[in-house]
Amino acid sequence: MKNCLVAQSGGPTAVINASAIGVLEEALESKCYDNVYAGINGIEGILNENIVNLSQMPYKKLKTLKYTPSSGLGSCRYKMKDYRFSSLEYEKLFNIFKEKQIEAFFYIGGNDSMDTVRTLSEYTKLNNINVQIIGIPKSIDNDLMETDHTPGFGSAAKFIATTILETYLDSSVYPSKGVFILEVMGRDTGWLTSCAALAKIGNDSVVDFIYLPETAFIKAKFLEDVRNKYKEQNQVFIVVSEGIKDENGLLLGDDIVNSTHDNFGHNQLGGVCRNLKDLILESKITSRVKTLELGVTQRSAMHCISLVDLEEAYKLGQEAVKYSCQGVTGYMLAIRRLKGDLYETETILVDPSKVANHIKYFPKSWITEGNNWVTAEAISYITPLIQGSPVLPMKNGLPEYTTLKELIKEGL
């Protein structure tokens, strides 16, 4: 008996389940594995032996998980101890694998998850354990090194740009239009925020200013830009990253004061748009200032996903199984963009140690001189990733989503 196991970790995306279904379908079709197990709630759930056999669930219903947002297998932000100081967790994990005859483990996640892939790979090599470890990337933040982009980013970009168009039109209906500030996720990088540049009506961008964490946010310059633009057109639309910092490196958001950190030391940010609103009101530029924090909608908006993103996420799941059948272990799959006028990619293998604990920042060369907009190169980079819209399963006028909890509860 030869089995494999797939699990998800970190923040969800709209297409993370497509990678899991890619693993499932390729494993079954290739007949490389007899059973495909799923770890519920990532590595933490596996250690608690919260494991289900996907192969025993009716495929017809399970496959619709591909068109369901969020982490269908559950998630976690669990950091395993350093095996050099304590190997108990590792011993327990691989005993569980041995019991269920699991010979390949596919971990779908972001930076922190690739750190887990790295440590597990190292441990198996040091201890001659015959379990293949392969990482499958995901992140709406697009901040993983060694890959052109990450599954989840394209769909989040499409949702953000679409929401900007809709809120711009909504904010433009009155004679006194005022200032609209939209806050986008991005603790360390401005990839998501840069997507605001895609929002156009005709050939004209609807966003006036874009502020990213990669450059210092100067309050005086910001107020000058807003004041001048408001005098010019009686309306200003601003998109800002939650992670922007001033010239002293201090975050502008106010929600971090009482926030808690996860096991990887990350805190939750927010409140930037409210602080910028106060700045504008205090400067008496206008008394009409509206704000919107997109929050988790950016990573769960299945109704607005990119077909390209969905297909790439699914393909990475398939390719992970194909590589494992060839004996590959200890790598993360990545996407390489090919040169040429047409958008084409290929799947490559990268060392997870080059991904874990590293951040791919938005290129400063793609930020304009005034630090309040992005260049044409950024727009050309993002545009292919938001193309196409899949047809979603519908029921009674709403998307028909599937959860493992539902399947298990029904006893299917």
The predicted-structure confidence for 158-196, as pLDDT tens digits, reads as follows 999 999 999 999 999 988 889 999 999 998 999 999 999
Whether pLDDT at 267 is above 60: no
- We find that the CATH architecture of domain 3-151+305-358+389-410 is 3-Layer(aba) Sandwich (3.40)
Average pLDDT over all residues of the chain:
94
Q: State the pLDDT confidence band at 264, using cuts at 50, 70 and 90.
A: very low
Whether pLDDT at 342 is above 80: yes
pLDDT at 406: 80
Give how far the C-alpha of residue 9 lies from the chain's centroid of Cα atoms, to the nearest Å. Answer: 11
pLDDT at 387: 98
What does the pLDDT average to over 54-66? 91
pLDDT at 176: 83
Whether pLDDT at 266 is above 80: no
Q: State the pLDDT confidence band at 268, using cuts at 50, 70 and 90.
A: low
Give how far the C-alpha of residue 22 lies from the chain's centroid of Cα atoms, to the nearest Å. Answer: 18
Q: State the pLDDT confidence band at 407, using cuts at 50, 70 and 90.
A: confident
Cβ–Cβ contacts within 10 Å for residue 394, how many? 10
Whether pLDDT at 258 is above 70: no
- Assign 3-class secondary structure to 170-236: HCCCCCCCEEEEEEECCCCCCHHHHHHHHCEECCEECCCEEECCCCCCCHHHHHHHHHHHHHHHCEE
Cβ–Cβ contacts within 10 Å for residue 168, how many? 19
Whether pLDDT at 263 is above 60: no
Percent of the chain residues topping a pLDDT of 70: 95
pLDDT at 255: 52
The segment(s) of the chain belonging to CATH 3.40.50.450 are: 3-151+305-358+389-410
pLDDT at 259: 46
Q: How far apart are CA 70 and CA 283, in angstroms?
A: 41
Q: How far apart are CA 292 and CA 273, in angstroms?
A: 7
Q: State the pLDDT confidence band at 61, using cuts at 50, 70 and 90.
A: confident
Percent of the chain residues topping a pLDDT of 90: 90
Q: How far apart are CA 305 and CA 312, in angstroms?
A: 12
The segment(s) of the chain belonging to CATH 3.40.50.460 are: 153-302
pLDDT at 1: 87
Q: State the pLDDT confidence band at 410, using cuts at 50, 70 and 90.
A: low
- We find that the CATH architecture of domain 153-302 is 3-Layer(aba) Sandwich (3.40)
Strand-pair category, 235-241 with 51-53:
unpaired
Hunting for tokens 């874990």 — which residue is that?
Answer: 356
pLDDT at 404: 87
Q: How far apart are CA 91 and CA 276, in angstroms?
A: 51
- pTM given for the model: 0.95
Q: Which residues belong to the active site?
A: 141
Strand-pair category, 102-109 with 132-137:
parallel
Interval 367-401: pLDDT, tens? 999 999 999 999 999 999 999 999 999 999 999 99
pLDDT at 411: 55
Whether pLDDT at 254 is above 70: no
